[in-house]
Structure 1
Amino acid sequence: MPRPRTVVTAPRGELSLAERALNTAEEREALAARRRPPAEPPAWLIERGIGVDRLPVRVHSGGCWDARKRCTGMIIDEARRALAEGVQGCPHCRPDAALGIG
């Protein structure tokens, strides 16, 4: 019959090995994430208003200094469509001029 201490000690050793392997894998994953280049910012942004409807109020170029937290990325066709439908272009980054609209 196995000794009671052995019944407890053996699984603890296996658990310790598993925890070390998990820690090593997590450290490798974190290192790889730090080495990845940051995601490229979107080329075009749509700024939405405040409130329930959150309607589009302004189109920005991706690197515009006046883009606010209420902006989300969009593709070039969406930017063109928004400007054509009457959404204002930002007066600072002038997306309408960059897209050849207006």
Structure 2
Amino acid sequence: MSELPPDLPRLRTVVTYLRGELVRAERALNTAEEREALAARRRPPTEPPAWLIERGIGAGRLPVRVHVGGCWDSRKRCAPIGTDQARRALVEGIPACPHCRPDTALGMPE
């Protein structure tokens, strides 16, 4: 910003002007946020991945469970995997989620 005036009346004028500009900027920000929220609600939800692998906690983060993509019991430690990877994980002994039963969905009886 440029040099501010030294006298009180002109400083008050600058402050009044800047307060008005701040109000205008806040209104524009609110309008933009509302527009973005509306656009987000109109977007169709993204498709969940077909299969998920849940990893454990800790340094190794080994796989602990296989899930169907939309499983309600999947957690933040899940990552998407392909069909072949899901089958391979089940064959290698990684447990299937008891709720979504990916083994059944893949046609792999116990």
Distance 1:98 1:35 in 2: 31
Matched, 1:34 2:38: no
Matched, 1:81 2:77: no
AA at the equivalent of 1:22: L
Question: Aligned with 1:46: secondary structure?
Answer: strand
Q: In structure 2, how many angstroms separate the alpha carbons of the residues matched to 1:36 and 1:50?
A: 34
Q: 1:69 — aligned with what?
A: 75
Deviations 1:24-45 (A, max 9, x none): 1111111111222222222112
Scaled by the length of structure 1, the TM-score of the pair is 0.65
TM superposition shift of 1:12: 1.8
What SS is found at the alignment partner of 1:47?
A: strand
- Is contact 1:59-1:87 (8 Å) kept? yes
Deviation at 1:93, TM superposition (A): 4.7
Structure 1 runs not aligned, ≥5 long: none
Structure-2-length-normalised TM-score: 0.62
Structure 1 letter corresponding to 2:83: I
- What is the Cα-based RMSD across aligned positions, in Å? 3.2
- What is the number of equivalent residue pairs in this alignment? 101
Distance 2:48 2:60 in 1: 26
- Percent of paired sites with the same residue: 70
The whole-number CA distance in structure 2 between the counterparts of 1:70 and 1:8 is: 48
